[in-house]
Amino acid sequence: MGILPVKFRVLQIIFQQQETSVENIYCMLKREYPRDACINEKGIGECLISLKTAGLIEVSDAAIAADGKLLSVYRITSQGIGKMKYIG
């Protein structure tokens, strides 16, 4: 199997992890896509917004870090689980 497009891989990571943070997704993608310029905090954030807007993921928890940064944890929705048969 070839490498999945980043957006599909993000959905797959959230599905496999059940719940996961942006930081965890970033660490995994950085290893898997070392030369992809969109693998940064902004690019992953845009991908997550797109998946959330499509109803495939949702925020399961959020907190404010000591530095004032929003820390969100994501989980896959039932609609997202239904799409996993097309991703693998």
Q: At what angle do helices 78-87 and 6-17 cross, to 10 degrees?
A: 120
For residue 47, the model assigns a pLDDT of 92
Please give the structure tokens belonging to residue 66.
Answer: 């000591």
As a whole number of angstroms, the longest Cα–Cα distance in the chain is 41
Question: Tens of pLDDT along 16-40?
Answer: 998 988 889 999 999 988 888 888 8
Residue 57's nearest CA partner among 69, 40, 44, 38 is 44
pTM comes to 0.85
CATH match of 6-87 with 1.10.10.10: yes
List of the chain residues with pLDDT < 50: 1
Domain boundaries, the chain: 6-87
What is the CA 5 to chain-centroid distance, rounded? 12
Q: Which residues contact 82 (CB under 8 A, 6 or more apart)?
A: none
